[in-house]
Chains A and B, each alone.
Chain A
Amino acid sequence: MRCARCIKNAVYSDPALCKKHFVVSIEETVENTIKKYELIKKRDHIVVAVSGGKDSITLLYILNKLKQKLSFTLTALAIDEGIVGYRDKTLVTVTNFCKQYDIALQIVSYKDSFGKSLDQFLTTTHKNTKPCTLCGAFRRTLLNKYARIYSASKLATGHNLDDESQAILMNLLRGTPQASARLGPQTGVIEDNMFIPRIKPLYFIPEKQIAAYSFMVGFNIEYGECPYAVQAYRGIVGELLNGYEQKHRGAKKNMINLFLKNKKRLMKLSMEQEEKVNYCSRCKEPSATAVCKTCLLLENKQNL
Chain B
Amino acid sequence: MITVFTARRVHTMDLSLPEATAVAVLDGRIIEVGSLDSLQPWLSRHDHVVDDGFADAVILPGLIDPHVHPGLIALLLACEWVTPEAWDLPGRHVPATVGREAFVARLYELEAFHPAGEPLVVYGWHAQFHGELFRDDLDAISTDRPIVLWQRSFHELRCNTPALAWLEAEEGAEWDPHIDLEAGRMWESGMGFGLRILNPHLIGGEHLGQRLEEMIRMVHGGGVTTIGDPGYAMADLDHYLDALLSVHEGANVPFRQYLIPAIFRYRLEFGADHAEKLAQHEALATDRIRFLHAAKFFADGAFIAQLMQVGPPGYIDGHEGAWMANPDRIADHIRPSWEQGRRIDIHVNGDMGLDAALDAIDMLLHEIPRFDHRTVIHHFGLSTQAQSRRMAALGVSVQANGYFLNLFGDAFVDRWLGAERASQITRVGSARRNGISVALHSDLPMGPLLPMKAASNMSTRLTLSGEILGLEERLSPYDAIAAVTIEAAWQLRLDHEIGSLAAGKQADLVVLDGDPFELDPTAWPDIPIRATVLGGEVYPCD
Do A and B bind?
no
